[in-house]
Structure 1
Amino acid sequence: MPEQTQITPAKPNDQQTEASTEAKIVSLSNTKLYVLDTNILLHEPLAFTSFKENDVTVPMTVLEELDYIKDSKKDVARDARVSIRAMEDLLHNASPEQMLSGVSMASLGSGESAPTGTFSIFSDLSMPDKQQVFTSNENDNRIINVALHLQAKLAPRQVILVTKDINMRLKAKGAGMSLVEDYRTDQLISDIKYLSKGYHIFEGDFWQNVQRVESHTEGRDTIHNIPRSVLPEAYVNEFLLDESRQFAGVVESITADSLEVLDLGYERIMSRRAWGVSPKNIGQAMAMHALLDPHIDLCILTGPAGSGKTLLALAAALEMIVEKSMYDKIIVTRSTPEIAESIGFLPGTEEEKMAPWLSAITDSLEVLHKNDESTKGSMSYIMEKANIQFKSVNFMRGRSIQNAIVILDESQNLTASQLKTIITRCGEGTKLICCGNLAQIDSNYLSAVTSGLTYIVEKFKNFSGSATFNLDGVVRSRLAEFAEKEL
């Protein structure tokens, strides 16, 4: 760690000047100083430890906001408490002067990614008015004022404001902040076009791309062993297709120089059915194959509205529970951004409170049984037979779900840490199906590349117990298809 010089702040009875404030954080090194916004610590409570050799400061305004949020009924209240505890653990032995000048974070970890910089609290509440660009007392403005003040006084050292609030980034830039960034340590891809789709399409005929192959049969299945050079970036459970629609296979295993591909056959995979539902395109056929495979514990379905994500998930779940008795129940949950405030005053039990949020499931159930003599009676019977339970994401923490199918709808609005909480609830014999449309993110601080759904697609693509599919065809109606393309 480069040498750093810390200047002891003035005594309380000395005249307070602007120099005494920035002196608490002055560093003579070439490292950077990051000023964190509140939403960074709500997005990832331990974010202040992610800046390696660089220094981090948190304005007092951020602590005030965390203090307000930690006692609220919002979903992020727990994240606020975790962040506060983590900061207290680091600073509990520090004197007030050390807290303001900076405390080393070297004790927080080991390895290349471990932090070695300092962490400090900036007492912005006493910053002179003449140093403030924004005169209104809004919290965002006070945080930007801190960043601008440090930028001016610590030049040429780089001072960077980090926030997930897009409007705040624009305001800071407009006010003269040179370096403003989003928090990207949990961002695995730079553009959504690079997100794994779950399949690879070869030009022309598949076998024209293969120079050498060894094949053998296992029962009714044919397995091909082909050179890995055919598709060097392949991953387990990725589908291989060709433009001629003659070949469809899935990567079963990967070695250093070969791929083991299960030959499914294009017509064979298109003929699969689940609870009376047949795939309408090859994307749905691939997804159905994975949904019905008991060896795949995590299925991730992405795609536009009307591509059949929820309907396929529910049809496959009913097929495996009612027809094949492979699981005991279906637990349906979804991301509800305002659920913490709104679920309480809705009438009824937890499941009755959740019903308005999960109407997509009941709509899909109605579609699956629309030809029955009594649609309503069939739905009630199936919900009891398949033991379908509607649960709030809020109450998933602490549970251990065994031998069930969990359908997580609208998962694009969850962060990586929230999805981790849900995934780690899944016990032995449980299958998790995550559905989401990255074009319909409602969160104020998430984008398509920072969504937790994008994060787990990339993190789990090499896990043999998971499969991901991007359903790119809108099959709901020609009206929905036209709207998806043209609007």
Structure 2
Amino acid sequence: MTANVSQSTQATKYFVLDTNILLHDPLAFLSFDEHNVVIPMVVLEELDNIKDRNKDVSRDARVAIRSLEEVLQDATPEQIVEGVPLTQLSGDHQANGTLAIFPDYELEQSASALALNENDHRIIQVALELQIKFVGSTVTLVTKDINMRLKAKGAGVKHVEDYRTDQLIDDIRLLTKGFYQFEGDFWQQVGDVSTLQEGRDAYHTVSREHLPQIFYNEYFIDETEHFAARVDAFDETSVTLMDLGHERLMGYSAWGIHPKNIYQAMAMHALLDTGLDMVILTGPAGSGKTLLALAAALEMVVEKGIYEKIIVTRNTPEIAESIGFLPGTEEEKMAPWLSAITDSLEVLHKNDESMDSSLNYIMTKANIQFKSLNFMRGRSIQNAVVILDEAQNLTASQLKTIITRCGENTKLVVSGNLAQIDSYYLTAVTSGLTFIVERFKDYPGSATINLNGVVRSSLAEYAEEHL
């Protein structure tokens, strides 16, 4: 870059973007307000290598390349290195800084830098060069790669950050659980209440001052094990609760499965409610997320005939490049990554005279289809229950791909454990699962349930608590 340090650059910040930022959010360069964004040439090389691959991120690479080209297409080589104003890009954004491409191939190895034969090291070197060039400004390397952040700090980059534009909460403990548990007896705390009876359902309207922050379809329970309700409606002064009753809620069942605790009972109630378009199940391994989702899906497809089929999908990062070479149908190729579903099917039919025959019958009767997330784009799913498992490893963009595929009479069940994130680039607070829990808590057609407690076995429970 050739800009001279001046008074205007003293307060300016420079953000150097890693490749994974543009794959995570192809328009990330528009998220830095009045500050300047620098993209090393090696990032463009990596995007070029990714755009033609047979994997989901290739689309994000192509979008990023087209967006960058739209900004830089009329600029001269000197202007591209200097920085092109982002204000000339049309669209809904607030960016008024500049976008520049840094020719990192011209860099020479310095004593303080890492070897330049690795792409990550070239990006780190760009940040180091800018630190020297713009002494009065803050230069920040932005990457989702935790190890790269450590290497950058070790190499001397003063400011290294994760990309947090899509981070809605700072602490995972602040994430809504989808229910609120009162201490003591709920009815001793609310004071005045008016009740409306509609058939077997009772609706109680109480003052909002007695309740915590309210979300649509949020459940309420207390310590007496008698009271259980769900938010039906609310305004600035009052809240209307649909009385469910603890005992009545625990009496729900689906495909022969009964809830083992009140958290599973709330989840089953939400899963069987056809008025909800989406149910999000979070919680530790062994809490029953997959089993409950599958049992409810079978109940609604086979027994009640509300939906026509069950589609099961999950994130399979390593499958993207190899699935085409595996033998068999798409369902057969997906089977190794969806063993949790087949395990749950076996649990549901373990007492049948011939379990194998039962499983084959149910797979056909319920029209259970195993689909790769990478091949869901462009589809329109109708009259189905869609179970998206292991969602904690997905970004918000990937989850949006699935949610926007759901058409008429489709129910989406999203489940995941935020303590078991396998992605190098995601944390509990930046996971797409966290993102949709926060984004959809105000949507009347969805409910979230955090399944407290492990019911798989005492061994699993002890491991969850102590490992």
Same fold (TM over 0.5): yes
Q: Which of 155, 162, 172 is the matching residue for 1:192?
A: 172
- Aligned twin of 1:264: 244
Superposition TM-score, scaled by structure 2 size = 0.97
Q: Which of 429, 442, 445 is the matching residue for 1:462?
A: 442
Greater Cα shift, 25-34 or 303-312 = 25-34
How far is the alpha carbon of 1:130 from its aligned partner? 4.1
Q: In the alignment, does 2:135 pair up with 1:146?
A: no
Letter in 1 for 2:23: L
Q: For residues 107 and 55 of structure 1, what CA distance do their matches in structure 2 show?
A: 14
Q: For residues 91 and 334 of structure 2, what CA distance do their matches in structure 1 show?
A: 44
Q: 1:132 to 1:143 in 2, by over 3 A?
A: farther
Greater Cα shift, 196-205 or 208-217 = 208-217
Unaligned runs of 5+ in 2: none
Q: For residues 24 and 233 of structure 1, what CA distance do their matches in structure 2 show?
A: 51
Letter in 1 for 2:193: V
Q: Give yes or no for contact 1:332–1:391 (8 Å, CA) kept in 2.
A: yes
How far is the alpha carbon of 1:131 from its aligned partner? 7.7
- Aligned twin of 2:18: 37
* Secondary structure of the corresponding residue to residue 286 of structure 1: helix
- Aligned twin of 1:446: 426
**How far does the alpha carbon of each residue in 1:301-333 deviate from its partner, in whole angstroms, 9 at most, with x for none?**
011111100000000001011111100100111
Q: Which of 54, 65, 73 is the matching residue for 2:46?
A: 65
Q: 1:25 to 1:100 in 2, by over 3 A?
A: farther
* Secondary structure of the corresponding residue to residue 247 of structure 2: helix
Q: Which of 37, 49, 67 is the matching residue for 1:56?
A: 37
- Aligned twin of 2:81: 100
Q: Which of 63, 76, 84 is the matching residue for 2:57?
A: 76
Q: For residues 148 and 275 of structure 2, what CA distance do their matches in structure 1 show?
A: 46
How far is the alpha carbon of 1:148 from its aligned partner? 1.0
Q: Give yes or no for contact 1:22–1:154 (8 Å, CA) kept in 2.
A: no
Q: For residues 403 and 185 of structure 1, what CA distance do their matches in structure 2 show?
A: 35
- Aligned twin of 2:330: 350
**How far does the alpha carbon of each residue in 1:198-243 deviate from its partner, in whole angstroms, 9 at most, with x for none?**
1001111001220221111111111011111122411011001111
Letter in 1 for 2:336: P
Q: 1:131 to 1:63 in 2, by over 3 A?
A: farther
How far is the alpha carbon of 1:51 from its aligned partner? 0.7
Q: For residues 16 and 391 of structure 2, what CA distance do their matches in structure 1 show?
A: 30
**How far does the alpha carbon of each residue in 1:115-171 deviate from its partner, in whole angstroms, 9 at most, with x for none?**
111111011111233486223421111111110110121011111110111111111
Q: For residues 244 and 10 of structure 2, what CA distance do their matches in structure 1 show?
A: 60
Letter in 2 for 1:103: V
* Secondary structure of the corresponding residue to residue 419 of structure 2: coil
- Aligned twin of 2:151: 171
Unaligned runs of 5+ in 1: 1-20
- Aligned twin of 2:465: 485
- Aligned twin of 2:139: 159
How far is the alpha carbon of 1:473 from its aligned partner? 1.2
- Aligned twin of 2:260: 280
Q: For residues 483 and 130 of structure 1, what CA distance do their matches in structure 2 show?
A: 48
Q: Which of 197, 202, 219 is the matching residue for 1:239?
A: 219
Count of residue pairs brought into register by the alignment: 466
Q: Which of 17, 23, 26 is the matching residue for 2:3?
A: 23
- Aligned twin of 1:215: 195
Q: For residues 406 and 114 of structure 2, what CA distance do their matches in structure 1 show?
A: 48
**How far does the alpha carbon of each residue in 1:85-123 deviate from its partner, in whole angstroms, 9 at most, with x for none?**
110011111111111111111133567x51111111011
Q: In the alignment, does 2:375 pair up with 1:415?
A: no
* Secondary structure of the corresponding residue to residue 333 of structure 1: strand
* Secondary structure of the corresponding residue to residue 246 of structure 1: coil
Q: Give yes or no for contact 2:180–2:218 (8 Å, CA) kept in 1.
A: yes
Letter in 1 for 2:77: P
How far is the alpha carbon of 1:24 from its aligned partner? 7.5
Letter in 2 for 1:457: V
Q: For residues 4 and 22 of structure 2, what CA distance do their matches in structure 1 show?
A: 22
Q: Give yes or no for contact 2:109–2:116 (8 Å, CA) kept in 1.
A: no
Q: 1:96 to 1:136 in 2, by over 3 A?
A: closer
Q: For residues 264 and 354 of structure 1, what CA distance do their matches in structure 2 show?
A: 39
- Aligned twin of 1:7: none
* Secondary structure of the corresponding residue to residue 341 of structure 1: coil
Q: Give yes or no for contact 1:329–1:405 (8 Å, CA) kept in 2.
A: yes
How far is the alpha carbon of 1:345 from its aligned partner? 2.2
**How far does the alpha carbon of each residue in 1:307-364 deviate from its partner, in whole angstroms, 9 at most, with x for none?**
1000000000010111111001001111112111231222101111111111111111
Q: For residues 89 and 233 of structure 2, what CA distance do their matches in structure 1 show?
A: 38
Superposition TM-score, scaled by structure 1 size = 0.93
Q: For residues 452 and 194 of structure 2, what CA distance do their matches in structure 1 show?
A: 33
Q: Give yes or no for contact 1:25–1:120 (8 Å, CA) kept in 2.
A: no
* Secondary structure of the corresponding residue to residue 49 of structure 2: helix
Q: For residues 89 and 252 of structure 2, what CA distance do their matches in structure 1 show?
A: 52
* Secondary structure of the corresponding residue to residue 353 of structure 1: helix
* Secondary structure of the corresponding residue to residue 213 of structure 2: coil
Q: For residues 25 and 88 of structure 1, what CA distance do their matches in structure 2 show?
A: 27
- Aligned twin of 1:360: 340
- Aligned twin of 1:329: 309
Q: 1:295 to 1:174 in 2, by over 3 A?
A: same
Q: What is the aligned-residue identity percentage?
A: 66
Q: Give yes or no for contact 2:388–2:415 (8 Å, CA) kept in 1.
A: yes
